[in-house]
Structure 1
Amino acid sequence: MPRRLGKNPEIYNIPAHLSFVDALAEGVIARFGSDPLSLSQVMILLPNRRAVRSLRDAFLRHSNGKSTILPNMQPIGDVDEDGLIMGGGTLFDDLDIKPAVPTYIRQIILMNIIHSWYDKSLEEKPENAACAVLAQALGELLDQVQTEQISFADLEEIVPEQYAIHWQETLKFLRILTEYWPEVLAETGYMDMAVRRNTLLASLREMWLENPPTFPIIAAGSTGSVKATSALLEVIARLPKGMVILPGVDQDLDDGSWDAIEDSHPQATMKHLLDAIGVDRIEVNSWSGKDEDRDHIKTRLFREIMRPAQTTDQWRDLKWKPLDAMGNIRQIVTPGTREEAGIIALLMREQLEKPGKTAALVTPDRMLARQVAGELKRWDIEIDDSAGTPLFNTAPGIFLRFCAEMVSEKLAPIPLMSTLKHPFSAGGKNIGDFRDRVRKFERYCLRGVRPAPGINGIEMLFKHESAADDDLTNWWFDLSQIIEPFANLFQKKNADFGEMLSAHIEMAEKLAATDEVSGDTVLWKGDAGEEAAKLIEELIEAAPYLRHFKADQYSALFDQFMSKVTVRKKYGQHPRLNIWGPLEARLQHADLMILSGLNEGIWPPEPSVDPWMSRPMRRDFGLPDLDQKIGLSAHDFVQTASAENVVITRAEKQDGTPMVKSRWLSRLHALIGDDHHKADSKMWLHWYEGLDRPDQPINIEPPKPTPPVSSRPRELSVTRIQLWMQDPYSLYASKILRLKKLDDLDQDPGAIDKGVIIHDILADFMGSYKDHLPDDAEEKLIEIARKYFADAIDRPTVRAFWWPRFKQIAKWFIETETDRRKTMKTLLTETEGKIEIDVPLGPFKLTARADRIDQFADGSLSIIDYKTGLPPTLRALKAGYAPQLPLEAAIAIKGGFSLLPASTVSELSYWQLSGGEQAGKITPFNESKKIDVMDESITAYEGLKNLVVTFDHDHIPYLSSPNPLEKGYGEFDHLARAKEWGDV
């Protein structure tokens, strides 16, 4: 018993089936509310700020509209909170205590220490961003050790030889760090936040021991998971006017089970607290004074669900039916998270039909919370996750990240356009004009293969004719002046974080400015803007501690610093609907509680992996087992699931991955069976799917455009004829509508680019050495190839695959060409030809560009097509599905190639240039393959003539994929909406 306090501990319990804050407010008003002034003299200590807000709202609900001076409510702090502050008014005025070390200063100091350690250990040093993650985890470990009030000297008791070499090295580092850490921190004039909190709570404890307060002090809602808090609660319980009120103590669990409780049990932390205070749970009083509150049917149900494994044999002897407790607990199981979010939104929407009723979604799954908020928008319901939105995902956060990434990636097209297309970007110009320039810049400059890096690379694009626009050039010049100061800092070998941060923010503000509004006004407004500004202020304060780091790591490092910042809306919450995290939900209830995400790894969450201490090391050091977090999570679940009206939901799959239901649901189903959810699940899924199910399905017909004959093409190349035959709609889109697919941003050179490069190389080589091959022909071919590959060689795909394969092609080509020239000669390469086909509505022009035409000794021709992909089969050629070479033969037969008289064609030949195990392969179609090339060319010519005549009628449509089996990917399939009416 604490000295000088002779009173027996005054400890109360508010059972889990009651809303803790509402029951607390009622009890405080009943005890102290007779005199409005006496209520204001009461001090209530709560676990955290969110609990303070919830209790304040509860007092307003229970004041019956009267003007009331509320009690003095203060957050005592909890291990789960980042900002652990004890509000003691003037109690600490005489206490000389250092300020808590700011988060980023400590993280950067720890980063520097980790860097130095890796330098000395000669191990591969992690990048700055990875070091920041390690430093954050190390800071959390320091907090845990200090929170548990463990001496770092106890590290000496851990025997390194028991662990793997990696952990031995880590242990050595921790011993060195913890020996010098207090000294390092003292030099900064700060102290660790956990130590400071412990000091404040210990000082408060000592003050109240020496001079017990004369006003009522109530500590409510804390489970005592923090040792310093537990020690303070021990004193408060014995103060003359002190009370401790616990949330959901199970006073009727049998003694054997109570003694068997482990850290993963929801009662574990309160058991430890009661042991520390020296109170048996049967001595805990009911806050309401009603005995019937003590053993509510839901308390009994969750007592059995959470019963220690050693005593589950007692389930066989239950004198009551657990199923009776399920009257107001519904279960819904959905196929996936989309359906889960939709049904939750539907449940919340239904609750609004009941006058004055409230609903709350409780889940640790923030992605699910965002999905539910999105689903509610179909009814124009705006709801915010009270756990907040990561600054990372807000407009200011995204813009700042994009700005850093854009410059870090040397103005690569995708990060550049992501930044310029952000709603904040205006570059000091009129917003509309700026966006017009951005769209034009994207289309004419950035589409296609990535330009050379940096500002100079972009400026080189303006030398291209299509981008030679003075207005656009001037616009880019102005923009580059904004970007350049920040970009120049990335050239430094050792960068200064503060200098880079200042340049980053200066660039972001200039980029966010319009011709009417300054950039700081745009960037820092609203709740998210304020949090972003606060982050920047804290980083500027910490910047002097990070003087030297790799500049190219700035973006990743900035992202890491931002990753833990959360934005919470101050105003605009929905009056009746809420989204809560489990921590804030455990102390309050809504009329409908929807508990969602009940899958393993979500609720309860997976224990986080500590990179600095393994589980055995934590145990040997005296740190709580990671299962303690499971126990706290279980307590949150019991507190929320014990509400009057509850729906529990889970998805069977998440992103296609099967999920395992929560261990607590498995326990529940072991008691009552696992098929009770099926009717509710089926009903709600049917209703949700009905929201988007049309009353009358609409059958989508394939497009059948019939443009007038006057608009139909009268000239096509031989390569377009196959497209016309297989997918007339694509020809309609490209030739009649004149649509052209834009190149992708930052496009990797594809198969078409590869084919073009190889065609150009071979044409150049054959043009240079048409009549004879040099002795070093292969070297000459490689030399020519280097020129054509130059612009793309830095691409990983090109360097790793294309170039080595081309060397194989070059070797094969020269060997083949050497043998071929003994019996044949090359007449033409990359030569153009054309003929006119006479049809009733006027001539139709057929054009071609032959890769190569060789001549046999008898004067007949071999028409060659280079293929970097697969050549057509003999069946396709005979069936007319590969008309290109037969039509080129028809042009040659009719004298359509200007440099070649009308000739006989005896061979069509495909040269497959793969560069693989078989570098090249010639597939000839000639008499030896029982192909009469002259007949095939005439057949192809007549077939084309019939095709032209057929389409020379207004009523003939340009169908999409009339024969899908003979068609591959079509770049206009999306325009034809092919997936809506058939298989593509």
Structure 2
Amino acid sequence: MDGGRIYSIPVGVPFLDALALGLWAAVGEDPLALARATVLLPTQRAVRSAAEAFLRLGDGRPMLLPTLQAIADVDEQELDLAHGDDAGVAAALDLPPAIPALRRQLLLARLVLAYADRLEADGVAAPRSPEQAVRLAAALAGLIDQVQAEGLAFEALTGLVPSEYAEHWGLTLRFLTIVTELWPKWLEEQGAVDPVVRRDALMRARATAWQAAPPSDPVIIAGSTGSVPATAGLMTAVLGLPQGTLVLPGLDQDSDDSVWASVGTDAAHPQHGLHRLLVGLGIPRGDVGLWPGAATFVPATAARARMLREAMRPAATTEAWRMLATRPSEPDAPATGAFDGIRRLEAPSPREEAGAIAMLMREVLETPGRTAALVTPDRSLARRVASELERWDLTVDDSAGRPLAESAPAAFLRLIGDLAAEQAAPVPLLAALKHPLAAGGQAPDAFRRMVRRLERLVLRGPRPAPGFTGLRRAVEVLEDKHAEARAGLLVWVDGLAGRLGPLLDTLNRPAVAATEMADAHARAAEALAQSDQQSGADRLWRGDAGEALARLFDEMRDALDALEPVPGRAWPGLFEALLESRVVRPRWGAHPRLHILGALEARLQRFDRVILGGLNEGTWPADPAPDPWMSRPMRRDFGLPAPERRIGLAAHDVSMAFGAPEVVLTRATRVEGTPTVPSRWLLRLETVARALGAEAEFRSDPAPVAWHGQLDRPASVEPGKAPLPCPPVHVRPRTLSVTRIDTWLRDPYSIYASRILDLRALDDLDSDPNAAERGNAIHNALDAFVAAYPRDLPPDPLQRLLEYGQASFADHLDRPGVWAFWWPRFERVAAWFVEVERDRRRGLSATVTEQKGRLAVPGPAGDFTLTGIADRIDRMGDGTYAIVDYKTGGYPSKNDLKNGAAPQLPLEALILAGGGFPDLPVAPVSSLAYWRVGGGDPPGAIDAVESGVAELVAEAEAGLRTLIATFDDEQTPYHSVPDAGRKPRFNDYAHLARIGEWAAGDEDG
């Protein structure tokens, strides 16, 4: 093979297969000659794929492969042995080791926090949390890497004039100047260098060594565009070797010179990187030859290559599109069949896009030996597709890995951190205790039973006091009917406190060393993960994700000392920030013929069907990420490449993917309900298709989306039906309170669910005291006051009532919301109530409160017992009774009382008339009244019915007897909301009745 040669393998040719074939042909029959060659490739994945390509070429026969390496992987030991005497090589080999990435990030975060303190002292707002500092440090490390990779010097920052930028960028520039002065000194103290500095130094050392002592065997750099200066330098050195060769990926050798010249100024063009490389190498495009192995392969179609070249024209020459239809016979003009093998797919949403892609990948497996790959920068789409493929038990590895933070052990640790920082508040506590890894030293199923018991008896409702002390106190005050559960929970909570308490104490401190928090966090997680059969470490750190997490904790123990002590409550956010960049990659089990790849990993790969997914503007190409350290003008003035260069590299990746026999382009037309804009490359292809009259060939194919829709679509859809339970009469309730009679009328299904199925709605977790609790507190205060002074008021009635209120509210007064909203309302109620009582007591002979009554009502299946507790019954001066019910929230109107829609008070009067209140002699009822005591404006009011009360009571009795008789018939179902116009205000059982599935109107009926 001649030295100093540069070749290209065109788009449409399988790059690595052509590379292997050309190299095989060049070395002839000598099997050792192939082994003496060195081939440098862009990525480790390309190295593995190149080995597979050589094996395919040899048809699986044993063979000695060439040395295959990633360009950036330099064997230091080999370099030292062969060229250690060279001064340049020795200097690179003597460099200190690269600083570990996590330690560097934390050291930079320390600088960020120190500068923030300085800005705060000057009255300038700045990021103060360790979490923010760590994220900013990650961006700063990326900037340092980019500056070093581009061969720029931070000293050039002094040439930037702060006054030319916005004020905040001036502050940032000042910080960068400080950092770049301090950072080299810190690195020297650490005995380390930046990773990019070491990598590039070793690459330059390799180039120096080869120039000083050129190897006589072939050295080939293949598949690189030379976008990194150190790589371009190595490529220059290889061209000077006796058998040095460059093989470029997909160089456009067919466009005319004017178009090629425009490429040089269009950074977003796919050929811009190669143009820049050739200019740097000083090689005209015409001197680049066709790689010998490429001629054997027939590109997908020559027409497709020409069409793609047209679609990717530099922006300055796109006026030529107008002429496409008039010059079809020209050699470089796209021809018929340009869109053969290209499919376009538009889906309504990312879910359907992922489903359609999964269908296309699954379809490939129907043909033995065929392969497919999804190539996308959209990791969310990649995860969706992998999930969809699992329906066919297909495990496909996403080359980008899965975020470690989303793995089970990392989620467990995050939840434990939140639990501790929130001092065992109900929601984070239950989230951690219900995680599958939680066992607390017990069998997991036994532990979960205790967690559910704690939730049901203690954590539902108002939040206990902080920490395990507060949790224990909440268990201690459980009612005596839960005595057995209380005893078991006390022991169990003490065990939890022993496992998690030290972490709560650590995170409750105002300043803690980060290493101490990490150690306490890991110990708490292991303690909670321990089961009766396995240690916590065995359960927590196992599997790919567990091992990755264990490595992170090992790194944190070595690196977190770089941070100054931070508030304990900041640890969960800091831990999340440190997790963000970590991914998990399964080591085995992935399908051999299906792949999900990022654009970088897909370079040089070969598949029968390539699906380019997520082709929306902002996703592919991605919008430039906001740089917190340098604005676009600052980057330009400093000499960093424009964001368009990344777009050009992405465009080259897309162009190379078009070499597959079959290419599918997909996008979602809406994301989270928002319309999307097609990728600029799709729009260019549309324009070319329109100019060629090939719009029909490039229309979206609806079939894959329809296929996916059919997978879960039932053969027929029947509308939901209202539940009509008809339990036997002997299980139907024979006792109901007067308040439940109203529910029985409005929603019989609620009676069925609560009394027959014995289902009760749980309180919300960590809830503020609700309206019912507020009503009970006000009611109890009024009841206590009236019971204490049934005839005459005390000398200071308002003060006494407020004292009863404080006693009634005692369990809630430590809550800010109670003081702010409830107590002022009660004070207004109390003032109103005392004034009403002063007037009312003049016409009273006696008053009683909380009277319990019951009355047997005959029915077809036997007696039905009506029960009730009257808030207040006043014996008036004329011997009649007035029945009063306090209402703090919604209340029936006077019309509801008169027309029977609110039967509570008439039924209480029925019990009174039947002698059902043992302490009250039978006498007529002259008044039924609701007292509104909500504390608003006005603070109270009375709605009373004082005429026709006897008739209301008689009607209520008749209605009750009819209701009893109706439901004593076994054929009568318990309807759910039989009359939508009279549905209950609150319905705990609407979801069980599936009202939303069968009722017209809203979910509640």
TM-score normalised by the chain length of structure 2:
0.90
Please give the residue correspondences for 1:487-498 in structure 2 after superposition, counting only pairs within 5 Å: 487-498=504-515
Q: For structure 2, which runs of at least 5 residues remain unmatched after alignment?
A: 85-89, 329-333
The answer to whether the Cα contact below 8 Å between 2:357 and 2:704 also exists between their aligned partners in 1 is: no
Q: Are residues 1:747 and 2:778 paired?
A: no
Q: How many angstroms does 1:485 deviate by?
A: 2.3
Distance 1:255 1:819 in 2: 104
Equivalent residue for 1:573? 590
Native 8 Å contact 2:300 2:660 kept in 1: no
Distance 1:281 1:800, change over 3 A: farther
Q: Partner of 1:479: helix, strand, or coil?
A: helix
The offset of 1:665, in angstroms, is: 1.5
- Which residue matches 2:231? 229
| 1:445 matches 2:443 | no
1:926 aligns with 2:936: no
Q: Which range moves more in the overlay, 196-205 or 748-757?
A: 748-757
How do residues 34-113 of structure 1 correspond to structure 2 at under 5 angstroms?
A: 34-77=29-72, 85-87=73-75, 90-92=78-80, 94=90, 95-113=93-111
Contact 1:217 1:236 in 2 (8 A): yes
Choose from 164, 167, 175 the match for 1:165.
167
Choose the corresponding residue for 1:303, options 301, 309, 313.
309
Q: Give the Cα–Cα distance (whole angstroms) in 1 for the partners of residues 819 and 681 of structure 2.
A: 54
Q: Return the letter of the residue paired with 2:961.
A: K
Secondary structure in 2 aligned to 1:243?
strand
Q: Structure 1 residue 682 and structure 2 residue 741: aligned?
A: no
User: Does residue 883 in structure 1 map to residue 903 in structure 2?
Assistant: yes
Q: Distance in 1 between matches of 2:157 and 2:794?
A: 76
Structure 1 gaps of 5+ residues are 1-6, 78-84
- Structure 1 residues 652, 881: CA separation in 2 closer, same or farther (over 3 Å shift)? farther
Residue 500 (structure 2) pairs with residue 483 (structure 1): yes
1:844 aligns with 2:864: yes
Q: Deviations over 1:277-296 (max 9, x none)?
A: 11222222222353975993
Q: Quote the residue 1:546 is aligned against.
A: 563
Equivalent residue for 2:386, pick from 368, 373, 376: 373
Per the alignment, in what secondary structure is the counterpart of residue 921 of structure 2? coil
Summarize the Cα distance change of 1:762–1:338 in structure 2 as closer, same or farther, 3 Å threshold: farther
Displacement of 1:716 in angstroms is 0.6
SS of alignment partner, residue 428 of structure 1 = coil
Q: How far has the Cα of 1:858 moved from its partner?
A: 5.0
Q: 1:717 aligns with which of 730, 737, 751?
A: 737
Residue in structure 2 matched with residue 143 of structure 1 by the alignment: 145
Q: In structure 1, what is the equivalent of residue 532 of structure 2?
A: 515
- Aligned partners of 1:334 and 1:681 also within 8 Å: no
Between the aligned partners of 2:815 and 2:695, the Cα distance in structure 1 is 56
**Per-residue CA shift, 1:733-774, capped at 9, x if unaligned?**
110111222333333433333333333343344445555666
Mapped to 2, the partners of 1:822 and 1:31 lie a distance apart of 119
Corresponding residue to 2:669 among 652, 673, 679:
652
Q: How does 1:249-288 map to 2 (within 5 A)?
A: 249-261=251-263, 262-287=266-291, 288=293
- 8 Å CA contact 1:727, 1:961 repeated in 2: yes
1:187 CA drift (Å):
0.9
Cα distance in 2 between the residues matched to 1:435 and 1:57: 50
Partner of 1:290: 295
* Counterpart in the other structure of 1:81: none
C-alpha distance in structure 2 between counterparts of 1:862 and 1:570, whole Å: 80
Moved more, 824-833 or 703-712: 824-833
Q: Which one of 411, 414, 423 corresponds to residue 401 of structure 1?
A: 414
Displacement of 1:297 after TM fit?
2.4
Task: Please give the alpha-carbon distance, in whole angstroms, between the structure 1 residues aligned to 2:226 and 2:554.
Answer: 34
Instruction: Give the letter aligned to residue 721 of structure 2.
Output: E
Per-residue deviation, residues 636-677 of structure 1 (Å, max 9, x unmatched): 222224422011121122222322222222222223259748
Change (3 A) 1:550 1:295: same
Task: Give the structure 1 partner of residue 112 of structure 2.
Answer: 114
* Equivalent residue number for residue 980 of structure 1: 997
Q: Tell me the distance in 1 between the aligned counterparts of 2:812 and 2:31.
A: 80
Shift of 1:98: 0.9
**1:29 shift after superposition:** 2.8
Contact 2:303–2:336 (CA under 8 A) maintained in structure 1: no
2:364 is the alignment partner of 1:351 = yes
* Change in CA separation of 1:820 and 1:737 when aligned onto 2, cut-off 3 Å: same
CA distance change for structure 1 residues 266 and 433 in 2, over 3 Å: closer, same or farther?
A: same
Counterpart residue type for residue 351 of structure 1: V
What amino acid is the match of 1:91?
L
State whether residues 907 and 924 of structure 1, in contact with CA within 8 Å, keep that contact through their aligned partners in structure 2. no
Q: Does 1:410 align with 2:427?
A: no
What fraction of aligned residue pairs are identical, expressed as a percent?
Answer: 45
- What's the counterpart of residue 584 of structure 1? 601
Alpha carbon RMSD of aligned pairs, Å? 2.8
When residues 826 and 97 of structure 1 are mapped into structure 2, their CA distance, relative to the original with a 3 A threshold, is farther
Displacement of 1:133 after TM fit? 1.0
Match of 1:191 in 2: 193
d(CA) in 2 for partners of 1:395 and 1:376?
21
The aligned counterpart of 1:902 is: 922
Instruction: Give the distance between the partners of 2:823 and 2:31, measured in 1 at CA.
Output: 86
| Among 970, 973, 985, the residue aligned to 1:954 | 970
Residue 936 of structure 1 is matched in structure 2 by 952
Give the Cα separation in 2 of the matches to 1:907 and 1:675: 82
1:339 equivalent in alignment to 2:359: no
SS of residue matched to 2:646: helix
| CA–CA separation in structure 1 for the residues paired with 2:379 and 2:932 | 53
Distance 1:595 1:715 in 2: 67
Give 2:108's aligned amino acid: L
Q: Report the Cα distance in structure 2 between the residues aligned to 1:787 and 1:738, rounded to whole angstroms.
A: 33
Specify the alignment match of 1:729 in structure 2.
749
Q: Distance in 1 between matches of 2:108 and 2:450?
A: 45
Name the CA distance, whole Å, in 2 between partners of 1:814 and 1:154.
Answer: 81
Aligned pair partner of 1:964 in 970, 973, 980: 980
Change in CA separation of 1:543 and 1:724 when aligned onto 2, cut-off 3 Å:
same
Question: Does the C-alpha gap of structure 1 residues 449 and 189 become closer, same or farther in structure 2, counting only changes over 3 Å?
Answer: same
1:567 CA displacement = 0.8
Distance 1:366 1:13 in 2: 31
Distance, in Å, in 2 between the alignment partners of 1:760 and 1:31 is: 98
Indicate the residue corresponding to 1:500 in structure 2: 517
**Further displaced range: 494-503 or 889-898:** 889-898
SS at match of 2:870: strand
Q: How much does 1:328 deviate?
A: 1.1
- Whether the aligned pair in 1 keeps the contact of 2:894 and 2:945 (CA below 8 Å) is no
CA distance in 1, matches of 2:647, 2:840: 77
Q: Distance in 2 between matches of 1:46 and 1:761?
A: 82
| Alpha-carbon shift at residue 182 of structure 1 (Å) | 0.6
Alpha-carbon contact 2:747-2:976 (below 8 Å) kept: yes
Q: Distance in 1 between matches of 2:483 and 2:11?
A: 69
- Quick one: structure 1 residues 105 and 940, their matched pair in 2 at CA, closer, same or farther if it must change by over 3 Å? same
After superposition, the Cα gap between the structure-2 partners of 1:911 and 1:610, relative to the gap in structure 1 and judged at 3 Å, is farther
Contact 1:202 1:232 in 2 (8 A): yes
Q: Structure 1 773/268 Cα, relative in aligned 2: closer, same or farther at 3 Å?
A: farther
**Residue type at the aligned position of 2:32:** L
8 Å CA contact retained: 1:337, 1:368: yes
The residue aligned with 2:19 is 24
Number of the residue aligned with 2:87: none
| 2:405 corresponds to 1:392 | yes
Shift of 1:801: 4.6
> In the TM superposition, what is the alpha-carbon distance from 1:183 to its structure 2 partner?
0.8
Q: In structure 2, what is the Cα distance between the partners aligned to 1:667 and 1:750?
A: 59
